[in-house]
Amino acid sequence: MRRPLRGMRRSSRPARRHRFLPAAVLASVLALSSCSAGGATRAADTGDLTMQFEGPPVSLDPAKAGNGGSTTFVSLAYDPLIYLSGDGRLVPDLATSWGFAGDSNTVFDLRLRDGVTFSDGAPLTARAVVASMRYFLHAGGGLVGNVGHIAKVEALGPMKVRVTFADPNPEAPMAMTQYNGMGNIIGPKGLAHPASLLTASDGTGQYVYDGQDSIAGNRYVYRRNDHYFRPSAQQFDTVSIKVIGDPNAVLAAAKTGQVQYANGSANTVDAARAAGLRINTAPFYNWALNLVDRTGKVSPPLADSRVRHAIALAFDRSTIAHGLAGAYASASDQIMLPGTDGYKASLGYRHNVARAKRLLAQAGYPHGFRLTVLTQSIIDPNTNYSQAIAAALGDIGIDVTLRVESTGIAQFTGDALSKQYAATIFPNVGASMQATDLQIMSGVFNPFGSSDKELNSLLARAAAQTDAGARTDLYQQASRRLQQLAWFVPVFATKNISYSSPDLEHVTSSVVNPNPVPVGPTAAYSWRLK
């Protein structure tokens, strides 16, 4: 009998079958899942709030931070001088009263709240507020353009601050709210070391940023500030913001209770509603085709106002809005949205393709022309909005090529400012004509630096006007003038959609404030869980 070679053995018994493996795997999964019972609602049970935001904050330094939904990152730790509530009211916060001195709308006084301290232990004083405001004005942040032209900031006494504007600014109270940076007051210790504000907060807010427990770009954790001036307004032990960009991941996190508040989208809103989440909406983005090359340097036809008006007449706005986002978008035919100061129902572009073609023919373009339009796929996912706008222009013979920037808003901004594009697709936002004007006359909305004397005159008169009714009338005249110029062609407005847990109370939003924050100066304004 031959022996097997060394190292080789004959088979002595059948190979053992691992019958238990699938059962073991299943048991492990069940064990894991049972250990998680209640995990989804843990935050609610312990008085913690977890929110979602689609990206990291622009900066955690209030002077360099962003606004819109990103405001929450700052608002949790820094109180504003004046609080803008979800329903659009101005509410005393660090300032207990305010008003213009004289009748020029240039000298604005604020009286500060007594007994407030920063998280660094320093008391809130006029000197501290002035130092914070001065830092904001020179820090190089992106919101500095939103507060108007400020000539001087000074302390008039231990608890009184005066802000003097170089030009009349009737929107000064709005400039001091949480959305415009300057009103979010930073403590002296933080101001002494501005770099420290990126990893630790120094405000008077309800919460203190915990840089140790946070992971930049993924999770931002805020813990209750024991020195907050009104503890009854603090509703949570901890507030966390999770950065989740993918809309499906956002929906899953909201449905499973991992977050109690999340930004929504028109694509997932029906599923969110079906899952029992509360849907909050408010008009927000006014999507427009911005005809920025008004002198025809890049695209000569756009220098002719007849061409710009023809473009404005090309859109069947209601159909486009409904087709793109159903109930979550509406037609927009003027620069201001209904409910904001400057909107006038009788104004607005109509849909008239025949007239648009006649205007093009009169301008010397009976067969249309080619136009490259810069857009982006960051807040216009899949460029659906841009494609709808391009298709409508095709109806009047304008052959649009979309140049899509898909890497980021910063890249889009860089392209838009390069003066290589005659038109862009990007939304504007603004609760008043003055705020909108500050936006649309600068940056990506006006890279070629256009200005109009009549428009400037109307806005200057409105700014100096102390009577609110007369100011509204002037704002509406400015809306009419913008329509005559046809520099901006609004098409539709999309709503800001958010999902909140049915247990989360006091979440309100409006056209004036479509991005509410979870903290407020009293319990009535702070969000809370049932």
Partner 1 sequence: MLRLIANRIAMSIPLLLLVSLIVFALEALVPGDAAQTILGQNATPASVAALSKQLGLTEPWFERYGHWLAGAVHGDLGTSIINGVDVTSSLATRTGVTLSLLVPGLLLSAVVGIALGFAAAVRGGLLGRFIDLVTLLGFALPGFWIALIMVIVFAVRLGWLPATGYQPLTEDPLGWLRSIVLPVIALSLNGITAVAKQTRDAVLDVLEADYVRFLRANGVSSRSLHYRHVLRNAAIPVVTSLGLIAVGMLTGAVFIENVFVLPGLGSLATQATLDHDVPLILGVGVVLTLAVILVNFLIDIAYGFLNPKVRVS
| Residue list 228-287, contact with partner 1 (CB under 8 A) | 242-246, 248-249, 252-253, 255-256, 258
58 binds partner 1 (CB under 8 A): yes
Closer residue to partner 1, CB minimum distance, 382 or 411? 411
3-state DSSP of 236-263: CCEEEEEECCCHHHHHHHHHCCCCCEEE
Q: What are the contacts of 472-475 at 24+ separation with CB within 8 A?
A: 472/341, 472/342, 475/336, 475/341, 475/342, 475/432, 475/433, 475/434
- Identify the residue among 9, 17, 453, 530 touching partner 1 (CB under 8 A): 9
Residue 188: which H helix or E strand, with range?
A: helix 188-192
Query: Which of these ranges, 147-155, 166-174, 437-445, 470-478, lies near partner 1 under the rule CB under 8 A?
Result: 437-445
Of 164-203, which residues contact partner 1 (CB under 8 A)? 195, 198-199
Closer residue to partner 1, CB minimum distance, 250 or 398? 250
| 342 within 8 A of 475, measured Cβ to Cβ | yes
Write down the least CB distance from residue 160 to partner 1, Å.
Answer: 31
Closest-CA residue to 340 (of 460, 435, 445, 466):
435
Closer residue to partner 1, CB minimum distance, 2 or 453? 2
- Identify the residue among 338, 364, 414, 502 touching partner 1 (CB under 8 A): 414
Closer residue to partner 1, CB minimum distance, 59 or 498? 59
The position carrying tokens 């360099």 is: 64
69 binds partner 1 (CB under 8 A): no
For residues 116 and 95, give the distance between their C-alpha atoms in angstroms, rounded to a whole number.
Answer: 11
Closer residue to partner 1, CB minimum distance, 66 or 301? 66
Query: Which of these ranges, 56-64, 184-192, 382-390, 465-473, lies near partner 1 under the rule CB under 8 A?
Result: 56-64
Closer residue to partner 1, CB minimum distance, 117 or 413? 413
> In this structure, is the dihedral angle defined by the CA atoms of residues 67, 69, 73 and 79, taken in order, positive or negative?
positive
Structure tokens at 40: 């989804």
> In this structure, is the dihedral angle defined by the CA atoms of residues 167, 171, 174 and 180, taken in order, positive or negative?
negative
Of 83-122, which residues contact partner 1 (CB under 8 A)? none
For residues 451 and 33, give the distance between their C-alpha atoms in angstroms, rounded to a whole number.
Answer: 63
The position carrying tokens 């159903």 is: 326
Closer residue to partner 1, CB minimum distance, 63 or 511? 63
11 binds partner 1 (CB under 8 A): yes
Write down the least CB distance from residue 34 to partner 1, Å.
Answer: 9
The residues, ordered by sequence, that sit 6+ positions from 237 with a Cβ below 8 Å of its Cβ are 46, 47, 48, 223, 224
User: What is the number of alpha carbons within 13 Å of residue 71 lying toward its C-beta?
Assistant: 25
Write down the least CB distance from residue 246 to partner 1, Å.
Answer: 6
Burial 262-278 (b: 16+ CB within 10 A, else e): bbbbbbbbebbeeeebb
What single-letter amino acid sits at 160?
K
Write down the least CB distance from residue 14 to partner 1, Å.
Answer: 9
For residues 388 and 222, give the distance between their C-alpha atoms in angstroms, rounded to a whole number.
Answer: 42
Closer residue to partner 1, CB minimum distance, 15 or 23? 15
The residues, ordered by sequence, that sit 6+ positions from 202 with a Cβ below 8 Å of its Cβ are 118, 119, 120, 186, 187, 189, 190, 191, 196
For residues 419 and 426, give the distance between their C-alpha atoms in angstroms, rounded to a whole number.
Answer: 15
For residues 107 and 120, give the distance between their C-alpha atoms in angstroms, rounded to a whole number.
Answer: 31
For residues 13 and 24, give the distance between their C-alpha atoms in angstroms, rounded to a whole number.
Answer: 25
223 binds partner 1 (CB under 8 A): no
Task: Count residues binding partner 1 (CB under 8 A).
Answer: 71
39 binds partner 1 (CB under 8 A): yes
- Identify the residue among 43, 76, 313, 444 touching partner 1 (CB under 8 A): 444
- Identify the residue among 127, 134, 443, 480 touching partner 1 (CB under 8 A): 443
24 binds partner 1 (CB under 8 A): no
Query: Which of these ranges, 137-145, 159-167, 287-295, 302-310, lies near partner 1 under the rule CB under 8 A?
Result: 137-145
Write down the least CB distance from residue 201 to partner 1, Å.
Answer: 13
479 binds partner 1 (CB under 8 A): no
123 binds partner 1 (CB under 8 A): no
For residues 357 and 484, give the distance between their C-alpha atoms in angstroms, rounded to a whole number.
Answer: 18
Number of continuous H segments (helices) and E segments (strands) in the chain:
16, 19
Q: Count CB atoms within 10 A of the CB of residue 54.
A: 17
Closer residue to partner 1, CB minimum distance, 5 or 345? 5
- Identify the residue among 327, 410, 460, 468 touching partner 1 (CB under 8 A): 410
- Identify the residue among 151, 215, 327, 524 touching partner 1 (CB under 8 A): 215
- Identify the residue among 295, 442, 466, 484 touching partner 1 (CB under 8 A): 442
402 binds partner 1 (CB under 8 A): no
Write down the least CB distance from residue 440 to partner 1, Å.
Answer: 9
